[in-house]
A = this chain, B = another copy of it.
Amino acid sequence: MSVATYLKRHTNHNVVVFSSESYTAYSQCGLPFVLEGKISGFNNLIVKSNDALMGMGIALHLDTLVNIIDANNQKVISDIGVFNYDYLIISTGSRPFIPPIQGRELKGVFPLHIMSDAIAIDKSLNNTSRVLIIGAGGIGVEIAASLVKRGLETTLVEALSQVLPLTLDPDMASLIGNYLNSLGVRVITGIQVESINGSQHVESVTVGGEILLAETVIVATGLRPNVDIAGEAGFDIGPTGGIVTDERLRVSYQGEFLDNVYSGGECAQVIDLITGQPTISRLGSAARRMARVIGENLNGKISNYPPTLSPNVVAVGDLVAGQVGITSHIAQVNDISVVSGSSKGLTRAGYYPGARPLHIKLLFANEKLVGAQVISHEGVKERIDAFSLAIRMGATVDDLLRWETSYAPPVSGVIDPVTFAVDDARKNMEATA
């Protein structure tokens, strides 16, 4: 929808959009907060109404499947007919990956991905006192915090040994795990779900031999790029499972990038800035940046989507956890030797009401910043963004030592905790040198 609105604003292209969903231009990331009750009603998540989109001149076909893309003849075959195109944009997003757990087809077991999932969960929760969430990634931890705040007995199960395994180092993740515990969430890590039990409707879940009662189960075990149609059409699918794109987000077709087919969002494979490896950026913010690049290219400009850092934040109850660049685990996998520096400070002067702990962890490779993780109640997103820019500009530990930070008692201590994290990293570098 972002490409579509860009094109209607800046070009004379006819724009036709197909979506298998009934809703479009809504905030997927807001779904957990509606389920919590923090936002009243799903309609509030609609960023632009269908009427407004059609009013812009976009031909909008909802609840409509595209079944075949014929790239050679530049046409798509949909439920409602055949459409020719000059330019094709594949933004089919992702779909939930649900592991083959016994009982996953029972009633009361849901993915949480699109609006209709959330509406179904919301209904189910009205008859539920116990909910179990499988998977402690971003969606899993957000929804766990939301549902315990809604008053449900909430259990979160993660097969890996920590919450947020893809975005946080274990030491930082434990802060989030402990916080979820303090909210009343039972957090079980390092154990796989054995089965989901019940006759027609889920009644319990077996985890490590223990039977946990739950009337609603939410499966948040990750997403996979939604590329079946693209793959069948002959577009190249990369090792990430995403559609191979170049720096202009043009799609590769049998080894060649086409000038008239683009892909963006979480079905498109892009390049990671630190590792140089193919990656998928699953963020709404990344999708919007890609949309702009595609729109500009279709508007006759040469516009590039540079290798990505995918800075991300999740709101877990009143805590925020943010991360950018690589984690220690990703460094290890990619044979990148890193030195870290950590600090614990406060978000305000110690004597000022409302001061909260702030945790920072920085990772350096060859003295250059390559990763950052921040956890606190406030000021996390903006710090992650600062580190995102710092990494992109190649900031070294010495650059960060020269970084002047601002101060006022209601918003910080005299010395920003980042200074102490950089000091710690410098000390660790000297120790390992």
Contacts and interface: CB of A to CB of B under 8 A. Distances in A.
Interface of A: 27, 29-30, 33, 38-39, 44-45, 283-286, 288-289, 306, 308-315, 320, 322, 324, 349, 351-353, 378-386, 388-390, 392-393, 395, 399-400, 402-412, 414-416, 418
B322 A406 contact: yes
Contacts of A310: 404
B382 A403 contact: no
B385 A416 contact: yes
A392 B407 contact: no
Contact of A381 (B388, B399, B406): B406
Contact of A406 (B39, B312, B404): B312
Nearest to A423: B292
A39 B322 contact: no
B416 A404 contact: no
A284 B407 contact: yes
Contacts of A308: 404
Contacts of A289: 404
User: How many subunits of this chain does the assembly comprise?
Assistant: 2
B407 A285 contact: yes
A239 B324 CA distance: 44
B393 A30 contact: no
A38 to B, nearest CB: 7
A49 B407 CA distance: 22
Contact of A389 (B27, B38, B311, B395): B395
A32 to B, nearest CB: 9
5 contacts: A29-B409, A39-B352, A311-B404, A314-B408, A393-B399
Nearest to A402: B306
A283 B407 contact: yes
A306 to B, nearest CB: 5
A311 B416 CA distance: 12
B315 A410 contact: yes
Contacts of A385: 383, 386, 403, 405-406, 416, 418
A379 B320 CA distance: 13
A381 B381 CA distance: 12
A313 B379 contact: no
